[in-house]
Structure 1
Amino acid sequence: MASNIHSYTMNRVWCPICNGVFITMTTYINHINQHKNHNLQYTCPSCRQQFRKLCRLKRHFQRCEMVSEEFRTGIHEQDRIVNDDQIVEEIEYIHEPNFEPVDDNNGDDYNEFSNGDEDNNDEFNNRNDDSCIVEKVFLKVSKLYGKMAFPKNLATDVISFVNEELVSTIFECILRGNCNREVIENMAFNCRSGLDAFASEYKFRKELINRNLYIPPVKFSILPEDILLKESYGYFIPINEMLAAIFEKREELVMDMLFTAANNSDSVDLNTQHIEYITQGATWQKQKVKFQFDAVIPIIIYQDDFEVCNPLGSKNFSYGLYSNFKQICNELENVENNGLALSYIPGNKVIGCNVCAIAGDNLALNSILGKKRNFVTDYCCRICVATIQQIEDLVEEDYSLLRTDENIHLGCTSKTPLADIDSFSETDMLSVDPFHDFFEGIVHAELCYILDYCFTNYVDIEILNTIKREFKYYNDFDKKNLSVDLKKEHILKKKLKMSGSEIACFLKYLPIYIGEFVPKNDEVWLFLGKLIEMIDSSLSTFFNTEKINNLQKITKEHHTTYKVIFGPKTLTPKHHFITHYGTHQFHNAANLLQEEQFEPQCSIGKIEDYIDITNFDIIDYVFHLDFDYTKVPFSKQFFFVS
């Protein structure tokens, strides 16, 4: 096999900067490293792919070098496929320039690829060095994997689709003997035509319209009609049209929904059963009886603030949240009142839709509910009306301070746009933020005290760093969220240089890291166990009366111990928020309202709409729903509105 087939092992490398020629990739990298500057884009001399960082170019070379090695060692292997009594032997392609297929019958049989024209014959027989389809596919997918903003699971889906759908279909046609020129041309045309729709946004939208899968967005004015300072518009997709389009194609799912509603199979007795899904919570059970529909779909609204320059922010007054959410709330109210009439449902049965909960982080929830966004002032809690002095001492939930219709206005800075929805009840639709309350809140603060105590009395910080580095991690989540080495100065300043996910991973393995050094009866060691137990109970996937009472008991013990063991200490607002988790589990099954479940889906929209969201003339507002109907029955599902 010619050495110049694989451009990453060739003997000559040309530098696009100075037109110099180098023998190896190593010398080429060293040359670029000496002449690099901040404005330079590093170009691969083979595939012309550009990189902003030299380290990525090196990694690109290493990957392609591995590919070339695989081609050199495995190109002459033959596979035999047994089909009944017939043995079909795969053609061994030797990747040489100007390769011509060998005619085993010395030209006696008719060549299906030939039509008597030598020019057309050369089109199939002659192969360029760069036309190896396997290497082309690998390099293309490698580029997808190399993109930082491209999720790895999407690249895996592309590989799976090509292998299972396209390649398998073509291979089956060849095995059946239908490999004449016309069949191959049809297969090639079908493969290409399936991807033509993705060539541009215009073609993609046109294809969606042709398949009746496109719902045009509706334009609305953000400002009231009596304010003519500046025209500003938003766009949304009508929720009733979107839901109708989804359920018109899901007859089996809808019939299962009607059966579930008729048998009331989602009701739960907390004394004998568990709450596993949001449809079994007290809030949903109370809300669904208000509607006279045959079945009701629960809808969860997820709110996540954009960056500080966001023109939708509350600081922009007329352009703020209320003006934008008002139109969306009108759509939700319309669906709640009228429901969905589907063509295949017998009789006059109608499917209803109802907002059952809201989700988001603490700042976003306080914003959409019109509460204070400063968490060190009075009435900063969304669930109760405790003052900041009371928050510092409350180790358990005080039922006398819970918000009611009479005191719901305390701590409010503006009217919530959700109040326009008739079924919305702020006192019932409780929402918490476990990820930020725990891993970016109390766990971060308490780990600093725990580590400082352990480093002072039992274990050296370098020993812990060594154990953490050399520990064998088998979980993908843990491998991706390993934190950097701990430093003494960071511990003393009570600032761990870790993200929330890294803190969650570190806390998971901390008892294993230091367990052999700390006595079992040490009060700080016991406190660490109580912290982990409280988190596990709060993030449990099912609840009943016993588990809710146990969580409230553990939370009280943890908060009391924290005030004494590292003290005297006062509790923070996030300590206080956790005291309400038991009540929240009873109302809304907290495991379905954790903010980190919705964050990845919303972040895609934030990336795509970043330019438009800072445009003050036209503000794009995306109304997004996600319904995963393929995994579990309806009673375990919900709609996601962002």
Structure 2
Amino acid sequence: MKCFLCHTEIQQKECNVHFKSCHGGVNVSKLTSITCPEDDCGRLFPTYNSYKKHANAEHSEPNLVEVSAVDLPSSSSLNQHCENVNQQDHDSSSVSVDATKLYDCSRKLENFDLSVISQVDQLVAKLYSLNHFPRSHVQTVIEDFSTLNRDLISPLESAVNETLTDCGASTSQFSHISNMFKIVTNSFEHLKTEYRRLQYFTESGCYIAPIQYELGEVDIACHSSDGSLLKKKMLYGQKIPLDKVLTKFLELPDSLSSVMDYVEYLKTQNDIRNYMQCPHWQSKRSKFSVDDIVLPLWVYYDDFECNNPLGSNCLKLGGTYVSLPCLPPECQSNIENIFVALIFKTKYRGLFGDKVLFSPLIEMLTQLEKEGILVSTSDGPKRVYVITSLLLGDNLGINSLGGFAESFGANYFCRFCKTHRCDTFTQLEEDSATLRDEISYKEDVDTDNVKVRGIKSECALNVLPSFHITSNYSIDSFHDLNEGVAHYTMLHVLRHCIPKYFDVDCLNDRISMYQYGVCESNKVPLLHSEFADRRKLKMSGSETFVFVKHFGLIIGDLVPSSDPFWRLYVKLRQVFDVCQSKILTRSKAIVLKVLVKEFNSLYLSVTNDTLKPKFHNLVHYPRALLECGAFEQMSTKPFERKHRDLLAPAHATTSRRNVGLTIAKQIQLNLCFRLLSNKSILPKTLFGPSDVISLYDLDCYLAIAKRLPSIILSNASTCLSHNWVEIKGTMYKTGMVLFINVNEAGPVFGMIEFIISRDECISFVFRYFVTFGFNQHVCAFEVDNSNVFSCISQSDLFDPMPLSLNFSIENEKYVILRHAM
């Protein structure tokens, strides 16, 4: 037999002597890790007794004896045994080498087994994460893979064994290879059924299963041999444990650390770049100690239709999502970082009320704020408190969940103030005397008269420790501006300009020929000849935004600047530019207040129309800007994109028995794959097609050499030139325009000529534009090419978002900013 400590061949009768003499009388009964030394095994055992049981059961000649502290041999016997062992070690060094090789083989086999299991786990988790792939098909794929493994590996194993025989391989080598084939053949065994799979992923901590919660009972008709009967049926909603989800998310690589780094960075900035710099958050944060880790959480609610809304089986579901606005900017628009909290049928709100439906959410959010979550980090566990700070949604979603009147036709439709509907027709600015507060809100709830108060019921979320609906200054600029104010305004402008300055065919020809630029993914659809008879343009919100932004360049040369309707369009553009800003100062709130007043006044005087309810929402924008920061961060667009993740599994299955549970499971399986992959939340830098170039061959080399990073300049003869690169989630291509800087003369622009890199150090080689100034008529900067070159890194740009070069009908070059500077 072999000693499991030194792998020396010893006789059974010499066990006690060997442990006493060669291993210092070690007490093997107290060992906590024993590796079986037998050929092709190498298994680990926590105790000597468990090792003995294994050897007796698995190996034909274990020859194990009890190691006892009594009946020890004499001193002479010990000396003789040591001499024999030393002589054996000297004469049989090859045996020791073979034992070492065997140990290495065992380790390799164990690592191979773990590697195969890891790869199979990720494959199955990835199959489950495909939203359009039904879960029932995963079972079919796994069965087919298992069959394929057996059919392919069996002849391969026979061929390998024949080759090993011809090469004179040892028995241990045969066994080692055979075990590797067995591992691959049975690689899906632990994930054989869906029950095993979900159980396995749950135990790993990656799958956080949704939980059904009871809403209440309803009477349903059941047919039997005795006729129709009424039975009680319990209805359910789906909740997902937010504490577990957020804990796992913050434990992902770079998650909590990048958040804390970003929070510290915000403290050094004077401009408002994030909600965490705003008074609204500071008042909530002040309830905690300075040393506490406290993060804001935004809650979003909306309804979505998972069937054909015009069909007989239409089914509307209510989805509640949460997000962390404190994430670094490059992570905020990623819908993977938006998490589902509740899913239920919308009609249940009418049956049971918001307090019942949202009670699990309220319980989870309260726990997150009062108790926090314990996040494991490299510096040890840290407690993180999460405060519900804003309720987001479109106007209907916020008003319904907030308990306000849901119709814009109500006498008091505004959730911010108690201005009568008739007064909003001509209101130019906010009346602070009519603003809602907690005291007046409670009085309005107690009055219970929606016609005179504008409140149907109390908001269910008001019971949260740091939340009240009257201080919820969340703005939905996408629906207010893109799908509201812009439609009304542009319809009036078009009705006036057609046919006074041009006709529909002329405008459509200009639209079809216009070059929107490399940065614009949306295109403006052609106008229908009967557009003037409609209440809105037949465009989506994103298409309307593009239309407004480029309308001046498309057709502005045919309309005089003095035209009052064109001045209305220019004023609309100015409102858009401020509302789209991502970096704010307090002065911008004052500017916005003046712009809204001027815009509403001009709209009334030019169009002879009344202000619609979405125009009234604009008067509250300056206050919301001061309280909560940039509107773009509160946009509902990422959350509406999240709807697609919920709709896909609903469309992938034909069952509608419990579609909410189906969707909830699929969403959590998506998260399971992300957690199992354990990838950083920070986006990777991606490179497009590349060529090796020498910077010396560039005509502009001498002009850019002094500004090139040293790591690139150190070996300028071999650099990579890329067609495109994606940095922090933003795509850059040659031909895009960079916003380099702002000087006394205005903004400085440059066009990307080359994108070069070396060892992931990236630099943009660009050609400066000559900026002639801002053209008020078309709301764009007129530019032209220059012969001056330079280079810059992404971190040094004034605004990291690239721009496009656009052309007027006279082929003049213009750059349109995404938002006001």
Bucket of the pairwise TM-score, normalised by the shorter protein? 0.5 to 0.7
Q: Does 1:242 align with 2:245?
A: yes
The whole-number CA distance in structure 2 between the counterparts of 1:608 and 1:459 is 48
Could you say which residue in structure 2 is the equivalent of 1:450?
493
Match of 1:482 in 2: 524
Is 1:438 the counterpart of 2:431? The answer is no
What pairs with 1:133-532 in structure 2 (closer than 5 Å)?
A: 205=198, 208-209=201-202, 211-223=204-216, 229-250=232-253, 253-255=255-257, 266=266, 273-292=270-289, 294-307=292-305, 309-310=315-316, 312-313=345-346, 316-344=349-377, 350-408=383-441, 409=444, 410-475=453-518, 477-478=520-521, 480-483=522-525, 485-532=526-573
Higher relative contact order (CA 8 A, sep 6+): 1
Aligned to 2:804: none
Shift of 1:149: 7.7
Report the count of equivalent residues: 448
CA–CA separation in structure 2 for the residues paired with 1:339 and 1:260: 20
Q: Give the drift of 1:216.
A: 2.6
Q: Which amino acid aligns with 1:217?
A: P
Deviations 1:42-78 (A, max 9, x none): xxxxxxxxxxxxxxxxxxxxxxxxxxxxxxxxxxxxx
Segments of 5+ residues of structure 1 without an aligned counterpart are: 1-146, 151-179, 633-642
For residues 95-121 of structure 1, give each alpha carbon's deviation from its aligned partner in whole angstroms, at most 9, with x where no partner exists.
xxxxxxxxxxxxxxxxxxxxxxxxxxx
Aligned residue in 2 for 1:128:
none
Deviation of the 1:616 alpha carbon: 7.4
The Cα of 1:622 is off from its aligned counterpart by: 4.3
CA 511–196 in structure 1, closer or farther in 2 if over 3 Å, else same: farther
Q: What is the SS of the residue equivalent to 1:304?
A: strand
Residue-by-residue CA offset, 1:484-533 (whole Å, 9 max, x unaligned): x2234221334422222221222222111211111122221111111011
Alpha-carbon distance, 1:306 to partner: 2.5
Q: Could you report, residue by residue, the CA deviation over 1:533-555 in whole angstroms, capped at 9, with x for unpaired residues?
A: 10111121122111110011011
Aligned to 1:565: 606
Contact 1:309-1:614 at 8 Å conserved across structures: no
Report if aligned partners of 2:354, 2:401 keep a CA contact under 8 Å in 1. yes
- Partner of residue 581, structure 1: 621
Q: Quick one: which amino acid aligns to residue 580 of structure 1?
A: H
- Alpha-carbon spacing, 1:564–1:193, altered in 2? closer, same or farther (3 Å): farther
1:630 matched to 2:623? The reply is no
Q: Is the Cα–Cα contact under 8 Å of residues 435 and 596 in structure 1 kept in the other structure?
A: yes
1:186-230 per-residue CA deviation (whole Å, 9 max, x = no partner) reads: 9999999999999996676356346431223233212399xx953
Q: In 2 relative to 1, CA 434–256 (structure 1 residues): closer, same or farther, beyond 3 Å?
A: closer
Q: Distance in 1 between matches of 2:209 and 2:570?
A: 54
Instruction: State whether residues 375 and 381 of structure 2, in contact with CA within 8 Å, keep that contact through their aligned partners in structure 1.
Output: no
Residue 612 of structure 1 deviates from its aligned partner by 9.9
* Alignment match, 2:814: none
**1:343 to 1:530, Cα distance in 2 relative to 1, 3 A:** closer
Alignment-derived partner of residue 176 in structure 1: none
User: Hey, what's the Cα distance between the residues in 2 that align with 1:574 and 1:360?
Assistant: 15
CA distance 1:603–1:618, shift in 2 (3 Å)? closer
* Deviations 1:596-636 (CA, angstroms, capped at 9, x unpaired): 1221013321343477996579767849799994158xxxx
Tell me the equivalent position of 2:29: none
Distance 1:212 1:514, change over 3 A: same
Return closer, same or farther for 1:614/1:206 CA change in 2, 3 Å cut-off: closer
Q: Deviations over 1:123-145 (max 9, x none)?
A: xxxxxxxxxxxxxxxxxxxxxxx
- State how far apart, in whole Å, the 2-side matches of 1:341 and 1:316 are: 34
Provide the rounded CA distance (Å) in 2 between the counterparts of 1:199 and 1:476: 47
Contact residue 330 and residue 420 of structure 1 kept, 8 A: no
2:112 is matched with which residue?
none
Query: Residues 217 and 315 from structure 1, CA distance in 2 versus in 1: closer, same or farther, beyond 3 angstroms?
Result: closer
CA deviations over 1:347-386 (Å, ceiling 9, x no partner)? 8852111111121111111111111111121221111111
TM-score, with structure 1 as normaliser: 0.61
Contact 1:248/1:342 (8 A) holds in 2: yes
- How far, CA to CA, are the matches of 2:493 and 2:184 in structure 1? 60
In structure 1, C-alpha distance between the alignment counterparts of 2:547 and 2:189, rounded to whole Å: 47
Letter in 2 for 1:555: V
Instruction: Go from structure 1 to structure 2 and tell me whether the alpha carbon gap of 1:327 and 1:513 turns closer, same or farther (over 3 Å shift).
Output: same
Aligned residue for 2:562, secondary structure, equals coil
Partner of 2:167: none
* Aligned-pair CA distance for 1:256: 5.8
Identity %: 25
Q: Within 5 Å, give how 1:5-24 maps onto structure 2.
A: none
Alignment of 1:25-36 (within 5 A): none
When you count strand as a share of all residues, which structure comes out higher?
Answer: 2
Distance 2:476 2:557 in 1: 34
SS at match of 1:530: helix
SS at match of 1:446: helix
How far is 1:148 from its partner? 13
SS of equivalent to 1:306 = strand
Cα distance in 2 between the residues matched to 1:491 and 1:533: 25
Give the aligned partner of residue 100 of structure 1.
Answer: none
Structure 1 residue 236: Cα displacement? 1.9
The CA distance in 1 between the partners of 2:396 and 2:607, in whole Å, is: 29
- Identify unmatched segments of 5+ residues in structure 2: 1-129, 134-162, 165-173, 219-230, 306-313, 317-343, 445-452, 675-679, 684-727, 729-821
Counterpart Cα distance in 1 of 2:598 and 2:488: 18
Say if 1:276 and 1:543, in contact at 8 Å, map to a contact too: yes
Give me the whole-angstrom Cα distance separating, in 2, the residues matched to 1:557 and 1:333: 43
Q: Distance in 1 between matches of 2:274 and 2:190?
A: 39
Q: 2:650, 2:659 within 8 Å by CA — same for their partners in 1?
A: no
The question of whether the paired residues in 1 share the 8 Å contact of 2:524 and 2:546 is answered with yes
SS where residue 461 of structure 2 aligns?
A: helix
Q: 1:275 to 1:200 in 2, by over 3 A?
A: farther
Structure 1 residues 447 and 254 mapped into 2: Cα distance closer, same or farther (>3 Å)?
closer
1:200–1:548: structure 2 CA closer, same or farther, 3 Å change rule?
farther
Contact 2:242–2:364, Cα closer than 8 Å, also in 1? yes
What is the distance in 2 between the residues matched to 1:497 and 1:192? 58
